[in-house]
Structure 1
Amino acid sequence: MNLRVDSYLQISGARMSAVRLQDVAELAGVSMKTVSNVVRGYQHVSQSTRDRVQRAIDELDYRPNLMGRRLATGRTGLIALSFSNVAIPYFAELSRLVSAAANQMGYRVLLEETDGTLEGERAVLASFESGLVDGMLFQPAVVSSLEISRRRNSLPMVILGEAAAPLTLDRIMVDNFAAARDATNHLIRTGRRQIAFAGHESGRLSAASSQRIMGYQQALEDEGIPADPRLLFPRDTVTPMDAVIGVGAAVDAGIRFDGLVCRDDLAAIGALRALQERGISVPGDVALTGWDNIMMSRVTYPSITSVAPDTDALAHRATQMLIERIEGWEGAGRHELVDHRLVLRESAPTHA
């Protein structure tokens, strides 16, 4: 153990299991308010001060006392993260990042799944009344912006994703239009001219699918390539097997294409199998891109070129905005974008 910390603990009588905010402040040589600001991720703390406080937190193994805070403030120390299905790899990875960000800011996360249904999303909104959580990060799929406004009570909420959000609520998302255009442009630059889109819903399009298809179409039109509706390959459910079926059916029907933009990495994995089963080489005959940059995209053969949203920034900023609301910030809704990049791998390398 660091001698300074050991000496400090002996003098104060503190132990790692019962370290107080005051202990961290004394070791770091700052006020308790500054420690609180660092724990909650506030931006207006100098980097040198933030580093000093973080070293003290790490050395003392400080953990915020959530029960004490609830007694003092009436808050639970819990926030909810609600989305359609934790089995979808993107949401599993997002959950891990949100949990890490919340823990860093002194909160714990409760996961709620909606199955992407109107009934499930309404149930989540109704659960606000239980008082179990202090606020919610919510990624709606089907419930309308107006209904969110009507059904939520006064508890804070931050909207994730592309669905329309009330102007009074904070929202953070990726620019799906621009990202899809970037992915399509990459395929065009490698010489692909008959580019398909796969993996969107066969019924009502989600906001994300709609924006990604529009970005794909815009890239084609910018290059004078006609947008052909026959080159849209939907699927019934968000599984790789449905993408196998959808892309395979298109190939079996005689539809030819040399590039494929997939709505997400699960669709890309399914498309890859469908093409390989039919002796179609990737990327030789067809170059394809995925979306979300999930861990599986790195280990398929070939590995999958994928749109990578900055999920670290999304998780941290969304959690930060929610906690600011919980702690009394009352400004107008903030609608923010996080960056994205295209991670190039074997399925669509730089050169054709």
Structure 2
Amino acid sequence: MKSSGSDARSHKGPEQKVVTMREVAKAAGVSIKTVSNVVNDYQFVSDATREKVNKAIDELGYVVNASARNLRRGQTGVISLIIPDLQLPYFAQLSSLVIGEAKKLGLQVIVEPTLYSREGEIEALHGKRLSMLDGVIFSPLELGQDDVGQLDVDYPLVLIGERIFTDSVDHIATENVEGAKRATAYLIQTGCRRVAVLGVHPGEKVGSAGLRFQGYKEALEENGIEFDERLVAPSRMWHRVDGVDAMNRLLDSGVKLDGVVALNDMLASGAMHAIQMRGLRIPDDVSVIGFDNSDDSQYLSPSLTSITPGLEAVARLSVRVLKNRIDGVSPLGTANGGTVFRKVSSTLVVRDSTRRVDR
């Protein structure tokens, strides 16, 4: 039957439109992942489901790309990690951890930074070199919820982060809302009442910035502190210089503040520099807390209190799930090869940039 094989694409003749895996899934009344399981000949698909999918494939003309199928069937032992930028400590650390976990399973990793480019992310998902890979781990930044269709691919794919939510692919997420809420609440517990937030992306709802901002606001509300728009410092990028600029804007505005929640550690580092250049003391005058617990956060002066997002678990789970998919094994004990969604827990690491609760 036309559906057998590991890599399927639509037949495109002169008069024919491209048929996507999403269309096959809709016609069969199943998920995209189920269609992928069928075209990959995974054994855990029921006969009834396989029959429905194969019928839809035949009726729509969705056929096998034999050359890619044969290459993937041989398994190259190589996977790709698609990230926005290697200069940010978060992604550098994530890359190192993924490489380490992949090595344990006999896999090599090609790290592909997309450099904050929407076109780069799309190319990384759909480019010709994918035929040389067994699977992909993807951390999007420029693609968003409206781009779910870009994840309609015919190779094993694991999504990480919180830019896109869908039940069509395996997904390992982190506690962005909960982590920022925990950070803000801790500052309040230490006595801070005028807590600023750095790195907000105005209008963003889904994504690290939007979700961490949500957590910040929830903590204020739950502790009876009124939200003040003047304490919000937007920043498109999250590098150290952006933290300096955002903090200087707040200080120049004259708004009173005694605490800062920076949406990542690089912003926090820049904010600390700006605060100290004004002759203010950390944490006596202003407490600062970051997010990501990057490797160098403990070496700042003072050392930075931060939220650990559990990158070790993110790397371990994403590589494990991807390898299961490559091998045709139902990942993490999911029934019938269904998609995986796991949210990794975050923790607070208290250092010297914040006052202590017991003061």
TM-score by length of 1: 0.76
Give the AA of the match of 1:344: V
CA distance 1:135–1:146, change in 2 (3 Å):
farther
Provide the residue aligned with 1:244 in structure 2: 244
Tell me whether 1:340 sits opposite 2:307 in the alignment. Answer: no
Separation in structure 1 between the aligned mates of residue 347 and residue 191 of structure 2, nearest angstrom: 20
Aligned positions of 1:131-280 closer than 5 A: 131-145=131-145, 147-150=147-150, 152-201=152-201, 207-280=207-280
Separation in structure 1 between the aligned mates of residue 158 and residue 71 of structure 2, nearest angstrom: 25
Q: SS state of the match for residue 193, structure 1?
A: coil
Measured against aligned partners, the alpha-carbon deviations of 1:201-255 in whole angstroms (never above 9, x if no partner) come to 3685761111111111011001111011111112232211121111112111101
Measured against aligned partners, the alpha-carbon deviations of 1:144-174 in whole angstroms (never above 9, x if no partner) come to 3563434543101000001123312111111
1:146–1:166 Cα contact (<8 Å) kept: no
Structure 1 window deviating more from structure 2 (265-274 vs 231-240): it is 231-240
Measured against aligned partners, the alpha-carbon deviations of 1:114-139 in whole angstroms (never above 9, x if no partner) come to 11221111111112664121100001
Which ranges in structure 2 are unaligned for 5 or more consecutive residues? 1-69, 331-336
Separation in structure 2 between the aligned mates of residue 179 and residue 312 of structure 1, nearest angstrom: 16
Deviation at 1:332, TM superposition (A): 1.9
1:302–1:347 Cα contact (<8 Å) kept: yes
Provide the residue aligned with 1:17 in structure 2: none
Provide the residue aligned with 2:27 in structure 1: none
1:126–1:151 Cα contact (<8 Å) kept: no
Give the AA of the match of 1:253: S
Structure 1 window deviating more from structure 2 (232-241 vs 122-131): it is 122-131
Which ranges in structure 1 are unaligned for 5 or more consecutive residues? 1-69
Larger relative CO (CA 8 A, sep 6+): 1 or 2? 2
Q: SS state of the match for residue 261, structure 2?
A: strand
Aligned positions of 1:244-323 closer than 5 A: 244-323=244-323
Aligned-CA RMSD value: 2.0
1:128–1:155 Cα contact (<8 Å) kept: no
Provide the residue aligned with 2:119 in structure 1: 119
CA distance 1:271–1:202, change in 2 (3 Å):
farther
Deviation at 1:187, TM superposition (A): 0.5
1:141–1:206 Cα contact (<8 Å) kept: no
CA distance 1:150–1:85, change in 2 (3 Å):
closer
CA distance 1:121–1:167, change in 2 (3 Å):
same
CA distance 1:72–1:339, change in 2 (3 Å):
closer
Q: What is the aligned residue count?
A: 283
Q: Identity across aligned pairs (percent)? A: 34
Separation in structure 2 between the aligned mates of residue 296 and residue 130 of structure 1, nearest angstrom: 34
Separation in structure 1 between the aligned mates of residue 202 and residue 281 of structure 2, nearest angstrom: 26
CA distance 1:82–1:150, change in 2 (3 Å):
closer
Deviation at 1:71, TM superposition (A): 8.6
Q: SS state of the match for residue 199, structure 1?
A: strand
Deviation at 1:313, TM superposition (A): 1.1
Give the AA of the match of 1:336: R
Measured against aligned partners, the alpha-carbon deviations of 1:282-307 in whole angstroms (never above 9, x if no partner) come to 10011110011111111111110000
Give the AA of the match of 1:181: K
